Amino acid sequence: EADIYQTPRYLVIGTGKKITLECSQTMGHDKMYWYQQDPGMELHLIHYSYGVNSTEKGDLSSESTVSRIRTEHFPLTLESARPSHTSQYLCASSEPGENTEAFFGQGTRLTVV
């Protein structure tokens, strides 16, 4: 069982609101990731982190921002939610190295109305 948690699981919010999606892992992993997944589509990497105070943009451009103040915590923030942000957001973590298993959280399904 993976020790990586995302909250909330589901969120419906109005346009223009600021939201933060939480992701926490208790495995001490240095690397953490955020993926965006639309129904029937690929997972797209939007942010990643090598460790504390490290954050990088992924392959898919996103208006969201992330922070990594603590190893175990990698929150994602949208300053002003829009309907185009409606999607599923998956957080993952892994140990350093080329072939290491990525552990995924259960995801947050975000709907912006």
Partner 1 sequence: GEDVEQSLFLSVREGDSSVINCTYTDSSSTYLYWYKQEPGAGLQLLTYIFSNMDMKQDQRLTVLLNKKDKHLSLRIADTQTGDSAIYFCAESFSGGYNKLIFGAGTRLAVHP
Task: Please report how close the Cβ of residue 41 comes to partner 1 at its closest, in angstroms.
Answer: 5
> Of the listed pieces 11-19, 64-72, 76-84, 86-94, which binds partner 1 according to CB under 8 A?
86-94
The window from 12-20, 44-52, 60-68, 78-86 that contacts partner 1 (CB under 8 A) reads 44-52
Sign of the CA dihedral running 51, 53, 54, 59: positive
Contact yes or no for 77/64 (Cβ under 8 A): yes
* Three-state SS annotation for 18-65: CEEEEEEECCCCCEEEEEEECCCCCEEEEEEECCCCCCEECCCCCCCE
Q: Which of residues 21-40 bind partner 1 (CB under 8 A)?
A: 31, 33, 35, 40
Please report, as ranges, the residues that interact with partner 1 according to CB under 8 A. Answer: 2, 4, 31, 33, 35, 40-45, 48, 50, 56, 59, 90, 92, 94, 96-107
